[in-house]
Amino acid sequence: MGTLVLAMILLGPMAQGPKELKVPEVVKPPLVVAEGTIIPVSLITEMSTEHAKPGDGIYARTIFPVTVNNEIVIPVDTYVRGRVVNAERPGRVKGKAEFTINFHTLVMPSGLTLPIFGSLGGAGGTNERRGEATVVGEASKGEDAAAIGTTTVTGAGVGGIGARSVGGAVIGAGIGAAAGVAQVLFGRGKDLVLTPGTTLEIVLDRPLEP
């Protein structure tokens, strides 16, 4: 065997060059949204204690992106579904209207659906929040007093015209006051109405993993 042929046999594998190295693909861990994260949302549909009942659906969407490590994990216009747990109308003499609500599902713009476990962090406007999931409406005491005052003045005016005397005005005022009290006792206070666009805050009670 010639020297040239022997050299080619010995150098053959080296002439082909090094084999391609396969680097294992790095799997990026999912970004976890931590417990306690606030998700601001805006209601899409109206809610009223006059008509709502437990089990009714609630629909909202996010109005501000949620980020983790400078990456958006919950974008704006992510849909949020929930339900009415309880709806209380105001009492006839005292008490305020209130909603107990629960948000349970996120629907991402990509179509990905994720369960969420959260409580209510805040409610827009002048509404109070009680406990972890209850929105409380405004009291109607001022309006009740105004109703009594208006009917008292009206009754006094009518009584004075009819009797043309101070006594008639006093009797009329008494009748008006009684009518005002009856209006308050037999009527209800203000129902709680959450209109489309009302802002709420959902606070995650458990971490959210895509």
pLDDT of res. 93: 54
**Model confidence over 127-178: pLDDT tens digits?**
677 777 888 887 755 444 444 455 444 444 444 545 455 455 545 545 544 5
147 or 71: whose pLDDT is higher? 71
**Model confidence over 169-204: pLDDT tens digits?**
545 545 544 544 444 444 457 899 999 999 999 999
What superfamily does domain 38-140+190-204 belong to in CATH? Type IV secretion system, VirB10/TraB/TrbI (2.40.128.260)
pLDDT of res. 181: 45
**Model confidence over 11-39: pLDDT tens digits?**
555 555 555 656 555 555 568 999 999 99
Phi-psi region of 37 (alpha: psi -120 to 50; beta: other; left: phi over 0): beta
Q: Over 70: is that where the pLDDT of 115 sits?
A: yes
Q: Which residues of 169-205 are buried (b: 16+ CB within 10 A; e: fewer)?
A: bebbbebbbebbeeebeeebbebbbbeeebbbbbebe
Q: If you average pLDDT over residues 30-55, what whole number do you get?
A: 93
63 or 6: whose pLDDT is higher? 63
